[in-house]
Each structure stands twice: as C-alpha cells, then as structure tokens.
C-alpha cells in the first residue's frame, strides 16, 4: 500500500487540507468586507451626518464578476438629518465609481429596486 494511505500521513494530509480551506475562507470573507466598505463610501458622501450612519440588510449583487466594478451594494441606511434626528431607514444602491442612490422618494426607491434586482 502506498505510504500516503498510512494512518499518520492521512491525518497530516487532512490537517493541511483543512488549514488551506480555513485560509481560503478567511480571504474570501475579507475580500467581501473590502467590497462592502468601498461601496459604502459613496453612500456616506450623500448623507448630512455620515458619522451617524447605520446600515442593515446589505447584500452584494453581482452584475459582472466579483470585483468592485462588477458588483453593486444594496441595502438600507439610516442617518441623522439636519435637525439631529434619525430620518428612518431608506433603501440604497451603490455602484463603482462613486455613484450611490438613496431612495428618499418614490422615484428614487423605484430606481433602487430596479438596480438591485
């Protein structure tokens, strides 16, 4: 029997494989977090008080690959208005190139819905 199938070798082979999978999973998670962070920047630029922003229901929509240019971030954002109160969660869509649309009225909401299908 080949030496790879011996008990000690199989355990090492399994451990190395598991380690590679864990590292790969961590890299994918970190890259997804990077994409979300980059897509949030244009949304924050549209807000009166970006430091108060709260995000929820975020999801990356793939349009053309899993890159910054090929994805759109969709979700809801809530932030303080000019009077200091939170205005309520509004849907948003953020694409590459600094473009973000926040659904403040019915027309904007329809645009965000179409963008995030």
pLDDT in tens, 2-21: 555 666 677 888 888 899 99
Domain boundaries in the chain? 3-115
Task: Read off the tokens for 23.
Answer: 């590292």
Radius of gyration over alpha carbons of the chain, in Å? 21
Assess whether pLDDT exceeds 60 at residue 26. Answer: yes
Quote the pLDDT of residue 42. 92
Quote the pLDDT of residue 6. 63
Query: What is the DSSP code string of 80-108?
Result: B-TTSSB---EEEEEETTTEEEE--SHHH
What pLDDT, in 10s, does the model give residues 69-110? 888 899 999 999 888 899 899 999 998 767 888 988 888 888
87 and 106 in contact (C-beta within 8 Å)? no
């Amino acid at each position: 029997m080949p030496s790879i199938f011996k008990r000690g070798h199989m355990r090492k082979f399994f451990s190395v494989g598991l380690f590679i999978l864990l590292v790969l999973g961590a890299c994918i998670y970190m890259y997804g977090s990077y994409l979300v962070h980059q897509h949030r920047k244009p949304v924050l630029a549209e807000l009166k008080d970006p430091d108060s922003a709260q995000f929820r229901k975020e999801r990356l929509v793939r349009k053309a690959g899993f890159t910054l240019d090929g994805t759109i971030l969709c979700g809801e954002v809530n932030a303080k208005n000019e009077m200091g109160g939170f205005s309520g969660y509004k849907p948003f869509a953020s694409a590459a190139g600094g473009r973000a649309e926040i659904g403040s009225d019915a027309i904007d909401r329809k645009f965000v819905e179409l963008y995030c299908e």
